[in-house]
Amino acid sequence: MTLPRSLKWIAGSLLALIMLMAGFVAIFDWNWLRGPIERMTLEKTGRELVIGGNIEVRFGWPSPHIHTGAVTFANPDWAREKQMVAAEAMDITIDLAQLLRRNIVFSEVSLVRPVIFLERSPDGRRNWLLDMQQQDESARIQIGRLALDQGSLGYDDAGQKTSIRARISTSDTSAAGQALEFTAQGTFKGMPLKANGSGGPVLGLRDENTPYPLTADLAVGRTAVKVSGTITSLLKFSAIDMRLDLSGDSLAQLFPLLGITFPETRPYVTAGRLAHSGQAWHYRKFSGRIGESDIAGTLQVDAGRKPPALKANLVSKVLDISDLGPLIGARPGRIPPPSQDAAPSSKTDSASPEQVRLLPDMPFRMDRWGSVDAQVSLKAGTIRRAGVLPLEGLVTHLSLHDSVVTLDPLDFGVAGGHLKGVISLDGRKDPIRAKAQVWARNILIAKLLPTSVSNEAGTPAGTGEINGEFNLSGNGNSVRSMLAASRGKVALVVVRGEISKMTMEKAGVHLWEIMELKMTGDKLVKIRCLVADFDVNEGIMRTNALVFDTEVTTILGTGTIDLGTEKLDLTLTQKTKNTSPLALRSPIHVRGSFARPDAGVDKGQVTARALGALLLGAVNPLLGLIPLIDAGPGSDSECRQLIQDARETSR
């Protein structure tokens, strides 16, 4: 079949036109474009572009390739450096389809020995924006893939206290071909920065299809970051899949890096898998340590919300109770609870009672609470170093929303029972408004009291259960200031209990019974009534009723506990129920501070009784025992009546 004569003529004409255009492209001197391009750039941006060497074009639709010699592009007048870009040679691929829509898009850019300097001024101008004022986000060249061969990068942002300088090199490896290596140093948001790492030879700035391999070690301030994995689209972070190792002095130091508030903690180290897609960030199956406590779990951040939403599920097998201190504002280096065996080991330890404070006093950073909405669950198994309070586990859920922190529930296992509570801190006003309601349930005396009060035969110090309730509210920016301004109630009660008889005889200063029990051995006596009831007003706990009634002794207490100054001022009066032939009957005063309480008998009364015994003994040795005999009330007492009497005494 032969083609019509007209079609042959059209086909021949098209072929001739194509050959003519190909020949034109092959022999045309593209250097004539240098002048028009440089003049147009100066006119549109106010900045000088200089193109050196020959301009070579390899035409192809829709992406022609252009090669030039040395190229420089100036910075605006306000920038610190004269040139924004300088390179010994440049290759670019232009997207003609986008150019017809008046969008400047370079599909690929390759620079030889480039020096690139990017800067943001304090008033928001950015030198990479090409309008006259450097503020129009649309006035920029979009680059898809970027290859840099032996160059340097600089970035300055005076408003963010950031100045970074990086060196880039390429190396040939037999396994993967040419790869990029980099080092960087400077400051980031006022913190010293050092970094080094490696990646693929071509930077996929806007490549949505090809994950870019990246390995890097960074140190920002006291925070160390190590990453290894892939990133898709280096400008938008469309997708991330990499291992992330973090370590630092405190999680709170991540705030300048991430813009999300984390609590103050002891030094930490974690390792897990970081994944990102859309607006969601996941730190999956991470594990590590915070202080002496292990930690593991998952963490998710939804960056598409305002503020970002954080959700975490955390588990600790062994939680060191001292690691919770920074969360509530406890300062490092606090003295431990007083111990008869421990000698002072620091200046803090040897301070006077007036100088030593136990309640946490570091202010909460509520100015950061609005940076994130958070839902965090924590479960801990074993509690270590609980000191005099035998904690057995922790279950809690923290909610942070609209600058209000809520712990609900807060559940500690304590001595076979539980301390359960709901705590809220409202940071929307200064000072913080705090509310705490805590219930003590089924706490076993046998586990609560230290074993040192058991006798040599191993008799337990006591049995029974403690129940109670703490309901307090106050304003302040630290735990100490909140308690110093607190109002509310504190109440404890013991039911169905027994206690060491030796303990009670010592409380009554019954010398005869103490000596007798030393020889025969200790035993348990029933607790008939134990009630501690305090009203709290402006941080002062004042006794409504403080009663401890057993088969052998009744102890009634009056006085105050000052939460603001951490001072004790209690008086305990003993009333024995059986005649004691030898007793230094005297009230016991509990004074001093929370850190260094001081309990002792009334020395004046003891001295008077001792002098009376000496004088009578001079007349008749048997008469010398009369002042030391505690006859007691002679009958048992009802708990309800004792509480009523105690309340009458406290008024």
pLDDT at 353 over 50: no
Evaluate whether residue 389 is within a structural domain: no
Domain boundary at 110, 135, 160, which?
160
Cβ partners under 8 Å of residue 237, min gap 6: 231, 276
What are the two backbone dihedrals, phi and then psi, of residue 98, each rounded to the nearest 5 degrees? -70, -35
Evaluate whether residue 117 is within a structural domain: yes
Domain boundary at 107, 126, 160, which?
160
Evaluate whether residue 314 is within a structural domain: no
Q: Strand, coil or helix: what is 430?
A: coil
pLDDT in tens, 126-150: 999 999 999 998 888 899 999 999 9
Supply angle C-alpha 576, 580, 584, rounded to 5.
Answer: 80
Of the candidate ranges 2-11, 584-593, 618-627, the one whose mean pLDDT is the lowest: 618-627
pLDDT in tens, 293-305: 999 999 999 998 9
Q: Which amino acid is present at 255?
A: F
Evaluate whether residue 643 is within a structural domain: yes
Q: What pLDDT is recorded for position 454? A: 45
Supply angle C-alpha 179, 107, 202, rounded to 5.
Answer: 5
Instruction: Report d(CA 510, CA 329) in Å as an integer.
Output: 44
CB of 262 closer than 8 Å to CB of 280: no
Domain boundary at 136, 160, 184, which?
160
**Residue 154: pLDDT band with limits 50, 70, 90:** very high
- pLDDT exceeding 90 applies to what percent of the chain? 46
pLDDT in tens, 482-498: 999 999 999 888 866 77
Domain that holds residue 609: 443-460+491-650
Q: Is the dihedral of CA 631, 637, 639, 643 positive or negative?
A: negative
**Residue 627: pLDDT band with limits 50, 70, 90:** very low
Q: What pLDDT is recorded for position 221? A: 95
* Whether the model pTM is above 0.75: yes
Mean pLDDT (the chain, rounded) = 81
Evaluate whether residue 606 is within a structural domain: yes
Tokens of 121: 């001024």
**Residue 508: pLDDT band with limits 50, 70, 90:** low
pLDDT at 111 over 60: yes
pLDDT in tens, 449-462: 654 444 444 555 66
Q: What pLDDT is recorded for position 50? A: 96
Evaluate whether residue 556 is within a structural domain: yes
**Strand-pair category, 373-384 with 309-320:** parallel
Tokens of 191: 């913190």
Q: What pLDDT is recorded for position 619? A: 46
**Residue 288: pLDDT band with limits 50, 70, 90:** very high
Instruction: Report d(CA 518, CA 425) in Å as an integer.
Output: 51
pLDDT at 81 over 90: yes
Please state the three-class secondary structure of 17-77 as a single string.
HHHHHHHHHHHCCHHHHHHHHHHHHHHHHCCCEEECCCCEEECCCCCCEEEECCEEEECCC
What are the two backbone dihedrals, phi and then psi, of residue 568, each rounded to the nearest 5 degrees? -110, 140
Q: What pLDDT is recorded for position 341? A: 40
Strands (E), 113-188: 115-120, 142-149, 151-157, 162-173, 177-188
Question: Which has more pLDDT, 55 or 649?
Answer: 55
Instruction: Name the domain count of the chain.
Output: 2
Tokens of 217: 């070690």
CB of 440 closer than 8 Å to CB of 466: yes
Q: What pLDDT is recorded for position 330? A: 72
CB of 427 closer than 8 Å to CB of 405: yes
Evaluate whether residue 378 is within a structural domain: no
Evaluate whether residue 572 is within a structural domain: yes
